C-alpha cells in the first residue's frame, strides 16, 4: 500500500512544523505497512522570491494530482498585493479544490491544563466557501462595497447546496461519535433570509438522521455557553464566520492554538492545515508546537481511509503532550519543536 502527499512548508513556523509532521506521518504509515511519499513544493515568500508568485501554477497542478496535501501556515497578511504575486495560497487551494468543509476538533488532552478546568471534546464543522468573507462570494459581485467614503457594505452568500453539504458532514460525523449531538449555530432572528436558509437546509438533513440529537443555538448564546459549560458540546455546525470565531474559542478552551488541528475537504481533495497562522513571533526558534499540524495529518489519513496510522499518531501525540518535559512552551512545557517530535517518533516506534 502506498500514498503520495503534496507537502507545502509555508512561512513563519511553517517549515518547522511541516518537517515534524512529515516525519511523524511517514513513521506512522510505515508502522502500518503504508509507504508515504512526499512531493515538496515551495509556496509563500520562498515561492515569491523564486517564481514571482506565492502559489505557482506548478503547485496547483501538483495539488490537483495529490492524494492528500499537508499545508503549512502562510503569512498572507504580509504579502505584497495580488498584482505583485501575493496571493493567499490557502484561499487559492480552498477555492480551486472546492474545499467546502473545514473540520476543526477541539479536544483537551490528559495532563494539559484548560482555562475552564473542564475536559472538552467537540468538533466545529465550518462551511468554508461562502458566508460573509469578501473573498468567498466574489462570483456574485464584490463581497464588500464602499458607496461613499463613509459607508461600507458587506454581503453574505449562503446557498442551500453548501448548507446541505456541510450539514451532511456534521451529521455523518456526529453519528460516528459516542454522544451523537449536533448544535446548529445561527442568528436567524436577525439574519432571517441567510441564516434562515442555512437553518432550513440543516433541518432537512437532520430529518434523515433521527439518531442524532439536534439543538439550534444563537451564535451569541453559543459563545457564552462554550465558556460556561464546554462539555455540553459535541459537534457544532456553522456558517463560515461563526465557525471561524467559535472554533478559535473552542481551541483555546481545549488548551490552545498549538493543539488546534483542522482538515479542509471537498468531494475530491483534502488538506491538512493547522488552525493557527504562521506565528512569525516564534519562527526559527524551535519553540513552535507541531501538535496542531500533526493532528491535522492524522485527520487527513483517517479521511483517506487509513485509521490505523491516524490512531497511532494521535496516541503518540497525546503521550508527548501529557508530560511537560516533552511538550512545547505554549503549553507550559520545556521541550523544543524537535524534542517534542522526537518523543512522538519514539512512541510510534514503541507502539510498533
Question: Helix or strand or coil: residue 31?
Answer: helix
Selected from 56, 86, 143, 277, the binder of Mg ion by CB under 5 A is 277
Q: Which residue has the cell 458587506?
A: 154
Residue 295 is a binding residue for ligand ATP (CB under 6 A): no
Strand order in the sheet with 213-218: 35-41, 2-8, 68-71, 270-273, 263-265, 101-107, 121-127, 235-238, 181-186, 213-218
Say whether residue 330 binds ligand ATP (CB under 6 A): yes
For ligand ATP, the closer of residues 111 and 308 by Cβ is 111
Please state, in angstroms and rounded to a whole number, the distance separating the CA atoms of residues 60 and 160.
Answer: 29
Q: Is 277 in the site for ligand ATP (CB under 6 A)?
A: yes
What's the CA gap between 75 and 49, in Å, rounded? 14
Strands 181-186, 121-127: pairing kind? unpaired
Q: Is 77 an interacting residue with respect to ligand ATP (CB under 6 A)?
A: yes
278: contact with ligand ATP by CB under 6 A: yes
Pick the piece of the chain touching ligand ATP (CB under 6 A) from 49-57, 103-111, 189-197, 280-288. Answer: 280-288
Which partner from the list ligand ATP, Mg ion, none does 282 bind, CB cut-off 5 to 8 Å by kind?
Answer: ligand ATP
- Residues annotated as catalytic are 133, 187, 220, 244, 248
Beta bridge partners of 127: 101
For position 292 contacting ligand ATP by CB under 6 A, the verdict is: yes
Q: In the bound complex, what is the minimum distance in angstroms from residue 278's beta carbon to Mg ion? A: 8
C-alpha angle 145-147-148 in degrees, rounded to nearest 5? 125
**CA–CA distance, 11 with 209 (Å, rounded to integer):** 42
Footprint (CB under 5 A) of Mg ion, residues 152-171? none
Min dist CB 257 to Mg ion, Å, is: 9
Rounded-to-integer distance, Cα 291 and Cα 328, Å: 9
Which residues make up the interface to ligand ATP (CB under 6 A)? Answer: 12, 73, 75, 77, 257-258, 276-282, 288-289, 292, 330
Residues that bind Mg ion (CB under 5 A): 277
Amino acid at each position: 500500500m502506498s500514498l503520495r502527499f503534496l507537502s507545502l512548508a509555508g512561512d513563519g513556523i511553517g517549515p518547522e512544523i511541516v518537517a515534524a509532521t512529515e516525519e511523524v506521518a511517514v513513521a506512522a504509515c510505515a508502522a502500518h505497512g503504508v509507504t508515504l511519499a512526499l512531493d515538496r513544493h515551495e509556496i509563500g515568500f520562498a515561492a515569491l522570491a523564486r517564481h514571482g508568485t506565492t502559489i505557482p501554477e506548478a503547485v496547483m497542478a501538483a495539488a490537483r494530482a495529490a492524494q492528500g496535501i499537508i499545508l503549512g501556515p502562510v503569512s498572507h497578511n504580509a504579502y505584497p498585493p495580488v498584482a505583485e504575486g501575493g496571493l493567499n495560497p490557502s484561499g487559492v487551494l480552498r477555492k480551486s479544490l472546492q474545499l467546502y468543509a473545514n473540520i476543526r476538533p477541539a479536544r483537551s488532552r490528559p495532563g494539559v491544563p484548560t482555562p475552564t478546568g473542564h475536559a472538552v471534546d467537540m468538533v466545529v464543522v465550518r462551511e468554508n466557501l461562502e458566508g460573509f468573507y469578501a473573498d468567498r462570494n466574489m462570483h456574485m459581485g464584490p463581497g464588500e462595497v464602499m458607496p461613499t467614503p463613509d459607508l461600507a457594505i458587506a454581503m453574505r452568500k449562503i446557498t442551500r447546496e453548501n448548507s446541505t453539504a456541510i450539514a451532511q458532514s456534521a451529521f455523518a460525523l456526529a453519528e460516528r461519535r459516542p454522544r451523537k449531538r449536533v448544535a446548529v449555530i445561527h442568528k436567524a432572528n436577525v439574519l432571517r433570509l441567510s441564516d434562515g436558509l442555512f437553518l432550513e437546509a440543516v433541518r432537512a438533513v437532520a430529518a434523515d438522521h433521527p439518531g442524532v440529537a439536534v439543538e439550534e443555538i444563537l451564535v451569541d448564546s453559543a459563545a457564552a455557553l462554550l465558556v460556561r459549560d464546554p462539555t455540553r458540546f459535541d459537534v457544532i455546525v456553522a456558517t463560515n464566520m461563526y465557525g471561524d470565531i467559535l472554533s478559535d474559542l473552542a481551541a483555546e478552551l481545549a488548551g490552545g492554538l498549538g493543539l488546534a488541528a483542522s482538515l479542509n475537504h471537498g468531494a475530491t481533495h483534502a488538506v491538512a492545515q493547522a488552525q493557527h497562522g504562521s506565528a512569525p513571533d516564534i519562527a526559527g526558534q524551535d519553540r513552535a508546537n507541531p501538535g496542531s499540524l500533526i493532528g491535522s495529518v492524522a485527520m487527513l489519513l483517517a479521511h483517506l481511509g487509513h485509521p490505523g496510522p491516524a490512531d497511532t499518531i494521535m496516541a503518540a501525540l497525546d503521550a508527548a503532550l501529557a508530560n511537560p518535559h516533552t511538550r512545547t512552551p505554549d503549553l507550559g512545557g520545556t521541550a523544543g519543536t524537535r524534542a517534542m517530535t522526537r518523543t512522538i517518533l519514539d512512541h510510534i516506534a514503541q507502539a510498533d
